[in-house]
Structure 1
Amino acid sequence: MPKHIREGLQRIEREFSLANKRLSLAITDLKEALWQPIWWHLAWQEIRQRYRRSLIGPFWITISTGIMIAAMGPLYGRLFEQPLGPYFQHLAIGLVVWVFISGYLNEVGFAFVSAEGFIKDVKIPYSTYVFKVLVKHLIMFLHNFVIVLTVLLFFPPRTLATVPMVLPGLIVMLLNLLWIGTALAILCVRFRDIAQIVGSVVQLLFFLTPIMWQVEMLGERRELAEWNVIYHLIQIVRSPLVGETPNLLSWIVTCGMAVVGGAVALCLFARFRSRISYWI
């Protein structure tokens, strides 16, 4: 075999071996983070610290969100000529889920940057810091879910048979947020301006996502909303709560994102995991 071909094959073998080692370390990082739930304590401690000496703690966010929904519901329901009950359901669930998603996306870019002290002084799996941000906003989401329950108490869903489908919808949404957060945390620790871009995009997405308005209002152009992946993430949680089955397209999009996006984020994490501490 010619020398240059042999050297080329050896180089490919070394690169493959290195990539395999990086992937193994990344998977180990994820496993260790899951089996050592420090992220739960960090998330809870951060919430407690933020609302220290506050009488009702994170329920302040619940109150402000509830007031917003109570004010917007009759106004926009009348403006869009929608029945009050179904519109309140649509708005309340959509806005509560949106507050969760947008808050997480705006913060997760700083997951590694804000944990600089921990990363440099304590040996903790890097995944822990992404999990911490996700769990923190999940806890706040559960507080805000009181609003959804209150709205559904006054305006019951068409049927309760679809309600159990909320659980798989929530799991798929969390899986997607996890890989998106991992990718953003890595990109933002390397390129700090990306976090500001994400904030601007999130603000824009609020108006492009069917939260205050409904897809049916677009008529024949409803496919414009279906290109919005955030819409599908909200829909797999919202539809079961209003007595509807999420459409097949939403499941295909969200599950496909979870698989493909998860694989891409894992490769990105494996490739740049060792550089995170140097980029901070």
Structure 2
Amino acid sequence: MAQTVTAGDDRTEGAATTPALPDEPGPRSWSRAFGDLRQGWKQRPLWGYLGWQDIKQRYRRSVLGPLWISVTMAVVATAMGILYGALFGEDIATFLPYVATGLLIWYFISGCILEGSEVFIANEGLIRFLPAPLSLHIYRLVWRQSLFFVHNLVVWVVLVVIFPQPLSWTLLLAIPAFLLLVLNGAWISVLTGIVATRFRDIPPIIGSLSQLLFFMTPIVWQYDTLLKNPAVAERARIAELNPVMHFVEILRQPMLGQEIAWRHWYIAGAITVVGIAVALVCLRNYRSRVAYWV
């Protein structure tokens, strides 16, 4: 005779009260997005090594090696400083460090923008066949650009020694200013990198716009000088619509001992917060599709 199972049967009661396992978060979830960032950060030895190897590979078998980074920067800064200094009638002792510092900062910003738009496209093979977080490639890019910045910093040190600047305690502000640049380089790389994998016209468009942005940014011309000219002062204020200008100024002013204009910090901080928020939303919604788009 078949055994009747009652309501008090242990097996039935246990099965009925067993809690259900929580659902696995979907591909579009904040937990996966932040998990990607955490996993990428934990792999610091890997992307740190790869970033350094990128530089060594670029200058392999050359006599000077990575020192070519500083040599190129010094030649360009000296040539542009002397040329534009003569055209604008500027004192070379102040104008040459001004141009060199502006180029130092611009190289970092443009490197993050240009390489950021192709960061996932350039790593197509690794993304498809290596199970690694997407943020690893972002960290690698920003680390590589930071190494370039440190190499080029030698040029600034030499110019400050040759042409002493009125440096003060405000030089310490260069540290948080550079960290702000790093954060912006990261979110720009995430945002443009993801969009560019879907729309391949983005990298050449960004390349063209970056050339225009260089001349719109006070690197080889002085914004304060234009403000002192009553004939063009009002029109010169249009330059503040250029967001790159504010990031250049928050770092260049302490590095040259200039008076700190705090409005640049406020604007740069606001751009950073908004940019990070937009990049995180993009990472949350589309990170799972990058492997199919590349």
The range that moved more, 109-118 or 70-79, is 70-79
Q: Please tell me the residue identity of whatever aligns with 1:228.
A: N
Alignment partner, residue 8 of structure 2: none
The one-letter amino acid of 1:99's match is Y
1:52 to 46, 50, 60: 60
1:255 lines up with 2:269 in the alignment: yes
Cα deviation 1:21-58 (Å, max 9, x = unaligned): 61111111101111211221111111111211122112
Structure number, greater radius of gyration: 2
- Residue type at the aligned position of 2:140: K
CA distance in 2: counterparts of 1:34 and 1:244, whole angstroms: 35
Deviation at 1:117, TM superposition (A): 1.3
Note the aligned Cα RMSD (angstroms): 1.7
| Residue 275 (str. 1) matches residue 283 (str. 2) | no
After superposition, the C-alpha distances for 1:203-238 in whole angstroms (9 at most, x for unaligned) are 111111000001024323332111111111111110
Give the equivalent residue in structure 2 for 1:108. Answer: 116
Count how many residue pairs are aligned between Structure 1 and Structure 2.
264
Match of 1:5 in 2: none
What displacement does 1:72 show? 2.1
Q: 1:20 to 1:133 in 2, by over 3 A?
A: closer
Q: Distance in 1 between matches of 2:41 and 2:224?
A: 41
Q: Does residue 1:70 correspond to 2:60, yes or no?
A: no
Q: Distance in 2 between matches of 1:33 and 1:119?
A: 13
User: Identity of paired residues, percent?
Assistant: 37
Alignment partners' CA distance in 2, 1:108 and 1:20: 23
Q: 1:173 touches 1:254 (CA, 8 Å); kept in 2?
A: no
Contact 1:216 1:222 in 2 (8 A): no
Q: Which residue in 2 is equivalent to 1:242?
A: 256
Equivalents in 2 of 1:75, 1:127: separation in Å? Answer: 41
Tell me whether 1:205 sits opposite 2:213 in the alignment: yes
Q: SS at 2:264's partner residue?
A: helix
Supply the distance in 1 between the matched residues of 2:180 and 2:102 (Cα, whole angstroms): 16
1: CA distance between counterparts of 2:259 and 2:103? 19
Are 1:93 and 2:98 matched, yes or no?
no
Query: Which residue is equivalent to 1:11?
Result: none
Q: What is the CA-CA distance between 1:245 and the residue it aligns to?
A: 4.0
Distance 1:157 1:18 in 2: 55
Q: 1:150 aligns with which of 131, 134, 158?
A: 158
Q: Structure 1's 62 and 82: CA in aligned 2 closer, same or farther, altered over 3 A? A: same
Corresponding residue to 1:230 among 241, 244, 249: 244
Alignment of 1:30 onto 2:37:
yes
TM-score by length of 2: 0.86
Which of structure 1's runs of 4+ aligned residues deviate more than 2 A? 17-21, 216-222
Alpha carbons 1:108, 1:181 under 8 Å: kept = yes
**Is the contact between residue 19 and residue 271 of structure 1 (CA under 8 Å) also seen in structure 2?**
no
Q: Which residue type is aligned with residue 246 of structure 2?
A: H
User: What is aligned with 2:126?
Assistant: 118
Query: Residues 39 and 129 of structure 1 are in contact (CA less than 8 Å); yes or no, is this contact kept in structure 2?
Result: yes
Give the alignment's TM-score, normalised by structure 1. 0.90
Is 1:79 matched up with 2:93? no
- Give the partner amino acid of 1:53: R
- Segments of 5+ residues of structure 1 without an aligned counterpart are 1-16
Query: Is the 2:112–2:188 Cα contact (8 Å) retained in structure 1?
Result: no
CA contact (8 A) 1:100 1:138 kept: yes
Cα-to-partner distance string for 1:52-94 (whole Å, 9 max, x where unaligned): 1122112213212211222222221121122222211210100
Query: What SS class does the counterpart of residue 162 from structure 1 fall into?
Result: helix
Change (3 A) 1:242 1:173: same
Residue ranges of structure 2 left out of the alignment (5+ in a row):
1-23, 227-232
